[in-house]
Chains A and B, each alone.
Chain A
Amino acid sequence: MVDPVYEVLARSALVSLTASLVAATIGIPLGTWLALARIPGRGFVTALVNTGMAVPTVVVGLFVALLLWRSGPLGDLGLIYTVRGMVIAQILIALPLITSITMAAVQLLPPELPGHLRSLGANRWQVVARIWVEARLPLLAAAMAGFGHAISEVGSATIVGGNIHGHTQVMTTAIVENVGRGEFGVALVYGGVLLSLAFVVNGLLASVQQRGGAWARR
């Protein structure tokens, strides 16, 4: 049985938006900490994060699948071939990108800003919150990049999700499947719909970003 397009689309959006949201929740604080902390080993962690951006999604999918496999260390959780398993894989895919862009965004702010905010009487959390406000535009770009990376990947979605109709099929795996069957027309429809979804989400974020940029230049 073939899933209706809207159902696959909704699943794609759910998986990638959830994964991007969770990755941003972890990646933005992590990137901020890496940008501001003066601790030994920071360079090593930064190198790891940057390497994470270059890891193919199919490799991420392989590692997540090995962990979640029924006989694997987290097999008891029953997450293999589930939407939740796919979300976990996509979090790992989006996380290095969001962390790395956040780090760069915070490092682009005036280096004296944290000390300046402290000298104005901010406590630690107020300093971090203000830094995020000041870097809001690139942080939004980080979230957009994370979402774009997650929704366009096919490797981990295939391996971890299994492309099960009615359960784990998403837009990218549906495209691959239809191309495999020689149904290029259907694949093109899926591709167009996927592009539209990416365009709408990124368009919304970009309009927020542009409004923020325009205000700062006024």
Chain B
Amino acid sequence: MRAELAIMLALLLGACGSTPKQVDPPRLRAALEAESDGAKRYERGDYVVAARRFAEAAKLHASIDDATGVARNRLHLARSDLVQGRDEAALALLDATDAAGDAGFALDIRMLKAQALLGLGRTDEVRNSLAEAAALCAGACPRAASLHLLQARHALADKRIADALAHADAALKLLQGKDEAAETGNAWRLVAAARHASGDLAGGLVAAHAALDIDRRLALPEKIARDWLLIGDIQRDQAATEAATAYRKALAVAQAAGLDAITMIAAQALQDIGMQKKVD
């Protein structure tokens, strides 16, 4: 009888020891799945559908009063708008987004607002957003490199070339050894633009090619086309014939990817240096 009791107790202890798996409530699960699906589509470059999924996820999170989930998905949605060039829409969305008491989200909101304002050319307002972001990103901030890059973009837009170069270099140092290829490419592009603006054509060309290498590896057509435009701009100050090759590359990439705005820019650049656009 004692043995039976011991066995029963052992089985009971075993059952208690193995915690049953926690299953998420269906609505939360659906929200997380929509968000995850959106993130996968964003990675694949399907930004339109990604935005739709993030909006759906934000709505589902709102329906269960999950403020953190709402904020996170609204930030994803703002990023999807920014990558599609919908800067006004992103700005409106960010203005209406509550950080839900999360310091990381508050920082993201400021940084994405700065991005949108830079896209819209409202450089005076960028300064405020960046100052607020810098205050939130003191100490060992994981977003410091991105913040430096935005500060470099702002300085470049303000024609403060030395500041731009300093911020881009600082970002490059912070990005060393990190799995942040997109940001590293952005840093090299900024270094190239700053060096070009300061008259260091050879250094600018090296940095622009470094950015191009990364963007090719990431297979991002818009960035690749703009890298070629930048290379063309730098080479135009050296020799017009080499610039023509770079502009034609930009044109070919833009046409193949259906990027109308960059196609126009590249065609105009070719005309500016007296070259005819090659007929397809």
- B and A form one assembly: no
Residues of B at the A interface (CB closer than 8 Å) are none
